[in-house]
Structure 1
Amino acid sequence: MDRLSLSTLGQHLQTLRRARGWSLSQLATAAGIAKSNLSRLEQGDGNPTLDTIWRLAVQLDVPFGTLVAPIKVPLGEDGVEVHLLDQGQDSPRVDAYWMRCAPHTVRHAEGHTPGARESLTVISGRLEAGPEDDIRPLGAGDTLEFHADQPHLYRTRDTWATLLMSIVYADMQAEP
């Protein structure tokens, strides 16, 4: 992630944390990350993983897209790139993402906020995806919907996979 994006993410994260009246220690403990890592992240330093950003979003009770909306470059790690395309402003909240997975990638995702649902539509390539106890093979044009408030995964074999992902958040309102 570039320096400007990190700084923007850090400022946004700090604003959301303070608006809830939380200390660095409270949020770090709730998200299961070191206070020093959260402090560096808020200062625009560090190298946050997608999992760290997801955990922070869950603890702050905001869509992942709310944290990454100010970032204009794709976020990526371990063969997966994610880019926020749009955030709905209605209720329920809906975020839309472009996602690309390199060959031989396995991405384990933690559960999102309670009641969240995820929909994947494969644009090109092949992958297996879904809740960890119900993985489904998908190819170009296939769509899969599942409850995303439980651990799930994305796995590619020999090819790249590009997909559109939408997440519908239950009982979540737009941030001001």
Structure 2
Amino acid sequence: MAGTDESIRALLAGNLKRARERHGLSLSELSRRSGIGKATLSQLESGSGNPTIETVFSLSRALDVPISALLDAPAPRPFTVVRAAEVEVLSGEGVDLRALRRITSGDTTVELYDQRVRARSRQKSLGHAGTEHTVVQDGVLLVTVDGHRTELGPGDYVGFDGSLPHSYEAAGEAVRSVLLLHYRTTAATEPVHDH
């Protein structure tokens, strides 16, 4: 995903405009669907906005596209090395995400993220496209999905429908985890039509 050549802002600017136009949406309509102000959307499309995790998730949900469709750079080479220092961090109210890789095979797209939940912080999501999978590497992660809460420790896994409201919380020290999102590619790339 975003590397040294293209910033998250630049990638989001081009990808957001293309996705919006592909769906035949005006800025006003996308604003209504996403709950993001029209002026903010205009700034994001021009590359001058400051995107957050919450913003990107809202746009993913409103456009019914994978998060990587908004943040991904052109297709990677066959041999890919991603250096931590070369990946921009996308921060939210409680989480820092580093997008490591997008893989498409057949009708499935998989996105791989390094996810860090800051100490005594919580990250909420109203939901987004895809299925979400998380494996805790270090720390204790509290995960709430559609009102159901569970505690995960190192090596533990949780998977759920990403469209459900959910949150990640580090009740104590920071939590390191691997986040994997997967989507059916056909559903993620087909235009949304109003009926």
For 2:189 and 2:40, the matched residues in 1 are separated by 27
Residue ranges of structure 2 left out of the alignment (5+ in a row): 1-5, 74-85, 191-195
Match of 1:41 among 35, 39, 44: 44
Deviation for aligned residue 1:174:
5.8
For 2:95, the equivalent position in structure 1 comes to 80
Deviates more, 1:165-174 or 1:19-28: 165-174
For 1:99 and 1:83, the matched residues in 2 are separated by 7
For 1:168 and 1:4, the matched residues in 2 are separated by 23
Match of 1:141 among 155, 166, 174: 155
Letter in 2 for 1:162: R
Cα RMSD after superposing both structures: 2.2
Letter in 2 for 1:44: G
Change (3 A) 1:41 1:96: same
Check the 8 A contact 1:93/1:172 in 2, yes or no: no
For 1:135 and 1:117, the matched residues in 2 are separated by 17
Match runs of 1:22-171 below 5 Å: 22-70=25-73, 72-90=87-105, 91-113=107-129, 116-170=130-184
Give the number of equivalent residue pairs. 172
For 1:18, the equivalent position in structure 2 comes to 21
TM-score under structure 2 length normalisation = 0.79
Deviation for aligned residue 1:47:
1.7
For 2:66 and 2:51, the matched residues in 1 are separated by 17
Match of 1:5 among 8, 12, 18: 8
Deviation for aligned residue 1:140:
0.7
For 1:172, the equivalent position in structure 2 comes to 187
For 2:58 and 2:37, the matched residues in 1 are separated by 12
Residue ranges of structure 1 left out of the alignment (5+ in a row): none
For 1:109 and 1:169, the matched residues in 2 are separated by 17
Letter in 2 for 1:84: A
Deviations, residues 43-86 of structure 1 (Å, cap 9, x unaligned): 11122221111111122221011112239412013231112222
For 1:24 and 1:12, the matched residues in 2 are separated by 14
